[in-house]
Amino acid sequence: MSVREDAISPHGGGELVDLKAPASERTALAAYAAKLASVTLNARDLADLEMLATGAFSPLTGFMGEPDYTRSRDDMRLASGVPWSIPITLGVDEATAKSLKTGTEIALATEDGKRLAILKLAETYKVDRKNEAQNVFGTAEDAHPGAKNVTAMPPYCLAGKVTLIEEIPGRTFLEYPREPRQTREAFRERGWKKIVAFQTRNPTHRAHEYIQKAALEICDGLMIHPLVGETKGDDVPAAVRMETYKVLLDAYYPKDRAMIGVFPAHMRYGGPREAILHAIARRNYGCTHFIVGRDHAGVGSYYGSYDAQRIFERFAPAELGITPLMFENTFYCKRCNSMASYKTCPHSDADRVILSGTKVREMLRAGEAPPPEFTRPELAAILVKAMRDAK
């Protein structure tokens, strides 16, 4: 069954991009790549390469050229006008950029020299990384982890189509669908037509569970889609988070209506702009709906609580093609005796169980489980143990 028969078409209105070389050609391509000049990729470059190669970043077929870069940075669109909120570039230093000739092919390699892909060099251009950070994140401060990553990138960019000739090293959680073609197949097998995705980089607490199940009331299926690429050092490790998601789904979700997928992107902490990129990618994974909660993909106090919801108003619904489901901040209310939100609960904060991430981490480090109104006991036990083992 083709992607055209799926519940939703890939972003940009075309076919799902596939930049992976056929298995039958990989040996010859590896021998060819060994003779090429090479560029070394860091962990974030590798994550972008995987997202490009598998079609998760459709309609992109490689690292951005200058027209796409500039319009994405300034207008949240590609040069064609298709929505795209964050530039995807391959940065190199000046010496490397000037040593490479446009029109030639170069190898993309890991830090230990393994050649993973071939890039047909279409263009080399120079950018202002501080300007990029300011436009994308609203700040160029090093205190913002996404901005710091961008300003640390070399200023020259290599653009062109890529062909993946080896598997990306270090891929994890392969027992779960990781690529758009895999999730689309899983949805077809289940007969789901309306699929809602939930982006997460944190263990699921009761508020998350509440909005996931509210969304599931109007959809056929839910995909918990944790980001497993690079995150901040104080975020809960992916392996611990994945264990909590599995326990939660096994105990509290209908088995035929919820599943876990894996999102191998790195976290940019781009707030509103990253919410748009997350939605676009989930459309490519085959989802028709996408949950956008309070301070989606935010960090610190850089973004307003609902900026990531309001940014969707800047696009016509048909342009993004995936329906955002907006949720208020949710909590357990002792007087309501249930989960609720500011939209549904008339009581005061004194009646509500609202814990900050900092407070939860403090409790876990002390070996104290958060209250069951905040976190399911089974999940709290996993987190307490992980914190204890990490000491």
The β-bridge relationship of strands 258-260 and 221-226 is parallel
117-136: pLDDT as tens digits? 999 999 999 999 999 999 99
Phi then psi for residue 16, to 5 deg, are -65, 125
Arithmetic mean of pLDDT, 300-306: 94
| DSSP single-letter state for residue 166 | S
Q: Tokens in use for 323?
A: 């329906």
Nearest to 356 by CA among 202, 137, 144: 202
Question: Catalytic residue at 149?
Answer: no
49-69 pLDDT tens trace = 999 999 999 999 999 999 999
- Residue-wise pLDDT for 85-112, tens only, equals 999 999 999 999 999 999 999 999 999 9
State how far the Cα of 307 lies from the Cα of 284, in Å rounded to an integer. 23
Selecting among 71, 129, 181, 201, the annotated active-site residue is 201
Q: Which residues, including other chains, have CB under 8 Å from residue 137's CB and lie 6 or more apart?
A: 144, 146, 147, 150, 269, 270, 271, 273, 302
202 is catalytic: yes
Q: What's residue 362's pLDDT?
A: 83
Average pLDDT (308-314) is 98
Strand runs (DSSP E) across the chain, as ranges? Answer: 38-40, 62-63, 91-92, 105-109, 115-120, 123-126, 156-164, 195-200, 221-226, 258-260, 289-292, 323-326, 330-333, 338-341, 352-353
Q: Are 192 and 8 in contact (CB under 8 A)?
A: no
The pTM is what?
Answer: 0.96
| Residue of 202, 257, 329, 361 with catalytic role | 202
String of DSSP letters for 367-378: TPPPPTTTS-HH
172-189 average pLDDT score: 97
Report residue 321 as tokens: 């093609």
